[in-house]
Amino acid sequence: MMDLKIQIATLLVSFLYGVAFSFLVSVNYKYLYQKNIFFRILFTFMFIFANVLIYFILLKKINQAILHPYSLGMILVGFCLEHRLHCLVVNYFKR
């Protein structure tokens, strides 16, 4: 059983990582969705591998890399929130 402070830190880091991951996907959009299938697969593999490695290094520092379903949920919430905010900002500046 994890301490409450460790659980809160895990949730916060997972949420912020979801936000950062969504931002990185939007920044690297043209590389992730290229027409050349070989480079798309290669870049996507390297992108996902590097991001998963960074996330587990962060978890290792916080809670010995214990992965819980709620931390994955917080990554998803952070990803969706940043994506929605990104769309709102882009639509605001398109006017």
2-35 pLDDT, tens digit each? 789 999 999 999 999 999 999 999 888 888 888 8
With a cut of 80, say whether residue 1 has pLDDT above it.
Answer: no
Rounded CA separation 48/13 (Å): 18
Rounded CA separation 35/30 (Å): 9
Phi, psi of 28 (to 5 degrees): -95, 20
Give the domain ranges of the chain.
4-94
First to last CA, the chain: 51
Q: Residue 36's pLDDT band (boundaries 50, 70, 90)? A: confident
pTM for this one?
0.86
Distances (CA, A) of 35 to 25, 27, 39: 17, 17, 8
